[in-house]
Amino acid sequence: MNTIPGRRIIMVAFLIFLLLPIYWLVNMSFKTNTEIVTTMTLWPHQPTLENYKRIFTDESWYSGYINSLTYVLINTVISISVALPAAYAFSRYRFLGDKHLFFWLLSNRMAPAAVFALPFFNLYSAINLFDTPWAVALAHCIFNVPLAVWILEGFVSGVPREIDETAFLDGYSFPRFFVKILVPLIASGIGVAAFFCFMFSWVELLLARTLTSVNAKPISAIMTRTVSASGMDWGLLAAAGVLTIIPGALVIWFVRNYIARGFALGRV
Amino acid sequence: MDKTVNQKAWFLVLPVFLVVAFSAILPLMTVVNYSMQDTFGNNQFFWNGVGWFKELLDPSTDLGGRFLASLGRNLLFSAIILAIEVPLGIVVALSMPRQGWTVAASLVILALPLLIPWNVVGTIWQIFGRPDIGLLGYTLNGLGIDYNYVSNEFDAWATVIVMDVWHWTSLVALLCYAGLKSIPDAYYQAAQIDGASRWAVFKAIQLPKMNRVLLIAVLLRFMDSFMIYTEPFVVTGGGPGNSTTFVSIELVKIALGQFDLGKAAALSLVYNLIILIVCWIFYTVMTNAGAERPEKQGGA
């Protein structure tokens, strides 16, 4: 009843459409450049790990992964910890300017990164954070904090108000109630919010590239630079691409049972 | 659920306010400041009033022509991808397997493109589409279709659109799937007893249950396609010619390429204003949609 005709075919076709370009990237990453350029092969005929070996042995390559993961983690921690109390406030209380504040937050999630690239460059240079993971982490807060507030607000609203009242009657102070009762109750919501923060910080390039030069260069920026400098090393580019997919794939694997609920942003 | 009035709640919101204000208000003031001035290098600035804004909105000038052309292209692009991704996302959500390991497998594969860094998405499609080394380009040319996204405008557009469909349809599908999951089985049983057709079930049960998430999906997809930068930049570099130069690409060209700060800042403000207006319309529609149906919809 709740299905549509031919759904298996549609689903399989769509999943193949999603996987084919990724397969091609993986395929390329195991080929030598000669094989890539001279012949068209559907799978590597002379499989090689040379591309991956180069990335794992060259510090300028693998430090990029460390830089990226560093700012993503800092950003996720900041976003969640400031968003939690705010989400509680938005969910439970009415206060002066609450609706406007919420809209203002939301509008920052939507602001184009290109608009902020240059002013951020000036701002973070001025306070000596340029080229550190902190600059990127703080810059990414502009879209991740509003998103985290939005998601967590939905989850907090799902917690019955009676629980707060009972806790306060039992003599819990506000901070203790927050940490001991509320946070465990919305643990899955926090997981979902963290997932989204990770996701949007991990995939962003424009700000991350603008705010770093040498020491905190993210992997995605190293990819573009190295490739344009040394001609087209397709195999190496593909291998670096595959390695950027892996952290995302791992995260999805861990949250696979929460994806459906997570994408409802806690409010269906 | 009535909320109590409590001004102390501001203390709870304060950290968020400070973090976002630091990243949003300070830089925006810089932009406003630049937008009124002209620079000839050496950090020398000259007052230019609303000159840049006038130029920006006048298609006969260089700046205005470029801005309005890229705005037009961007709106066309957003319209096309919404027209493709929203229906396709709904169809995919309706086609999701019901149970078993295939559910988790499908969800993981669906979510995969969303977690690939945007420039890697560009790289993937660049490699995939090239006529010499890419599966797609090679196959199309093998079939006798002259396909080259570097030199042909139509092919460049097609590639950018297919890439965006590849990248983001999953988001719409996952949002819709989440909406569908919240429909109790009893609804379907009732529909079956009434002898409702497949179409009637979709129109009367599934679509209304999905409309909230669909609104979120349309909002996110419109915004993100309206500020798209990285993916087309990596694949086509805005070319051939200027055919895939969207507003963000134009803006970065002016700001970081030519270092024309005044022009870039004026463009930024107008760009931001458009987004703010669209965002406000959606926000109003969304809160109104919520107010019309005050009953709690299954909680979080």
Count of C-beta atoms within a 10 Å radius of residue B154: 10
User: What does the alpha-carbon distance between residue B72 and residue B74 come to, in Å, rounded to a whole number?
Assistant: 5
Amino acid B296: pLDDT: 43
Asked whether B178 and B213 are in contact (CB, 8 A), the reply is yes
User: What does the alpha-carbon distance between residue A188 and residue A69 come to, in Å, rounded to a whole number?
Assistant: 22
What does the pLDDT look like over B232-254, one tens digit per residue? 888 888 778 788 888 888 888 88
Q: Compute CA distances B252 → A100, B31, B207, B257, B265, whole Å.
A: 30, 14, 40, 7, 11
What ranges in A111-256 are assigned the alpha helix state H? Answer: 113-126, 133-157, 161-169, 174-177, 183-185, 187-203, 206-210, 219-229, 234-255
Asked whether A19 and B109 are in contact (CB, 8 A), the reply is yes
What does the pLDDT look like over A15-63, one tens digit per residue? 999 999 999 999 888 988 777 777 777 888 888 888 888 888 888 788 8
Which residue does chain A place closest to B127, by CA atoms? Answer: A25
Which residues of chain A from 37 to 96 reach within 8 Å of chain B, CB to CB?
A: 37, 40, 42, 78, 81-83, 85-86, 88-90, 92-96
Say what angle helices A59-92 and A133-157 make with each other, to 10 degrees: 30
Mean pLDDT, residues A146-158 taken together: 87
Q: Find the helix or strand (DSSP H, E) in which A93 lies.
A: strand A93-94
ipTM: 0.84
Q: What is the mean pLDDT of chain A?
A: 84
- Residues of chain B neighbouring A112 (CB-CB closer than 8 A): 226-227, 229, 247-248, 251, 271-272, 275
Amino acid A79: pLDDT: 94
